[in-house]
Amino acid sequence: MKRFCWIMVMSLVCSSALYGADAASPRVEKLLAGLSTRQKVAQLFVMSVDSHEGNAALRAKQMEYVKEGVGGLIVMDGSLMPFARTLNELQEMAAIPLMVALDGEWGVSMRFPEFPYFPRQMQLGALSSPELVYEMGRVVAKEMKLVKLGVNYAPDVDINCNPKNPVINARSFGEDREKVARYGWAYAKGMQDEGVSACAKHFPGHGDTQVDSHRGMPVLDFSLARLDSLEMYPFRHLVSNGVDMVMLAHMSVPALDPTGTPTSVSKPVIDILRKQMGFDGLVVTDALGMDGVSEFFNNDGPRVCLAAYEAGADVLLMAINYKECINLIVSKIESGELPMEELDAKVRRVLSQKERQGLLDPLYNPMINIETLEDDMKRLGEKELIQKMSDNTVLCAHRDGQTLLKGKVAYLALGAGEEKRVPNMDDDIYKPREGEGGGPAAYGARRGVGESGAEKMARLLGYDSFFLPRDFTLGDLKEMKAKLARYKTVIVGFHDTDSRPQNNFGIKEPAIYDYIGRWSRQQRLVGAYFGSPYALDVMPWFRNFGAFYIGWADNVYNCKSVSEVILGQREALGIFPVSAAGIKAGTGNTAK
């Protein structure tokens, strides 16, 4: 009997070593032992969920998958209160509590506009230290826990060293590997210190691509030495510090896998994580319906899932046709083509993560308290932190050293009409309404209610203010220039921008920007650009301005900070996180 027990123990040890899963807690092992093969496989899947309560067919499908035993959910766009009711309903049906994830790089507001907007990661990269990034991680985690979200698929630790990157760009902390690593871990640690799992993405590094993996498969044709020293550097840092999860990118990286197989379904790539970096957490795929991986398998969803499973992924995100995906993997295991030990190791990691989040505690309540949710949100105090981050990230791209505001001053807000007002998401007017569809777009009809960033700036500056709407023409601008000729200095606010290079940073009519360039040589202008510093490359005339500031996203927080800089009430303390227009990353206030 003793010999039999010893053989069994050694067998467990060997299989754990082979599949990278240490023995879990007695609670996890007992739960694992009681699951059927099909239930185990289902625990690896994460299904998308939203708040469209009126869509009966969609809701029925979600309920079917939860009854099937999917292990988790990922929140898509929605209205908060309908989502809370949806999540409570689905959790009520789940035999094992669902691990609910958010793709919330800039907080819960990325999916629910009822929460205040935190800065995107590139703006955070303009901070001089990661301390506020850590605080943001903690507060974002507190937001998430109010609505029972336990995983954030953030931070993005891609190094954006390609200004033309169409999909990462402002989602990155910048182009410096050390900053990306330190700030990425600060964000992750802040969340994990509050009990929310962080996820470093997109391994092995999506920063130097010119293809959006939602629409195609990027190819990173760099040497192994380059990939190891640059792209993979932040991931190694976060793994060594204990990040809970790593998300795989959909890319072809010949130096890591010469077959051209997408990295999200590549065993050699996952082996780098497991064997070389020693990562023992959850390996998560990016969404498996994205063209970057799906087209490689002729859009055959079950084949995609099987390939990800066989490569070593633990969590299969947003699969196409869950039931058929589960059927295929189960058939491979039951036929003996795939070992049960491998499945157990994956499920053991998933259940252990659920246990660490408290989901397996008999006293855990997975239900959102809808009655107290509004009051609980008000107590978080995010706005003070957001304002502090805004105050510390204003970039000075140019300053001529003269008295900034000379003579009679006016303020001109470009693209700040009713059609392009960034709402104050804390305002009661933005709370969900019964029967309203989900997503930020659902709030579009209410944009313009409350104070916009441009209006806040006008009020704080206190000068004569003029507004041109989002669709203003070159003719409108010429008329405005004539009207402003009597002012010695004109502060120009660029409010209608776009952070994406493929959209030319929101510059729809180059003739308008050319005209502004000519204007800047005729009259003293001071620029406040609310967008990406990369846009400086397509606005070479910014140096003709008396001063030119980058205020990042167009919202009340950033507009307040930039207004105070222009008025001399604070310094522009931001550090360039990327290089643009000859200004190198790491440059501080150019007026100094």
Per DSSP, the residues of 229-257 read HTTTHHHHHHHHHT-SEEEEP--B-TTT-
The residues that bridge with 245 in the sheet, in sequence order, are 199, 282
Positions in the chain short of pLDDT 50: 1-17, 418-449, 592
**Six token digits for residue 85:** 């009711």
Identify the pLDDT of residue 11: 39
The CA distances from residue 278 to 12, 235, 523, in Å, are 20, 11, 60
**Helix (H) or strand (E) segment spanning residue 49:** strand 45-49
Report the distance separating Cα 547 and Cα 565, nearest Å.
Answer: 11
The answer to whether the CB of 315 falls within 8 A of the CB of 44 is: yes
Burial class (CB in 10 A: 0-12, 13-18, 19+), 413: buried
The residues that bridge with 455 in the sheet, in sequence order, are none
In the chain, the percentage of residues whose pLDDT exceeds 90 is: 75
Identify the pLDDT of residue 209: 83
The CA distances from residue 236 to 65, 182, 185, 230, in Å, are 35, 11, 11, 10
The residues that bridge with 46 in the sheet, in sequence order, are 72, 317
**Cis bond leading into 204, ω under 30°?**
yes
**Cα–Cα nearest to 100, from 58, 66, 71:** 71
Helix, strand, or coil (residue 539): coil
Q: What is the pLDDT of residues 525-557, one digit of tens each?
A: 999 999 999 999 999 999 999 999 999 999 999
Beta strands per DSSP E along 215-352: 245-248, 282-285, 316-317
Where on the phi/psi map is residue 153: left (φ > 0), alpha (ψ -120 to 50), or beta?
Answer: beta
Supply the DSSP symbol for 578: S
Supply the DSSP symbol for 148: T
The CA distances from residue 578 to 161, 173, 574, 588, in Å, are 8, 9, 12, 11
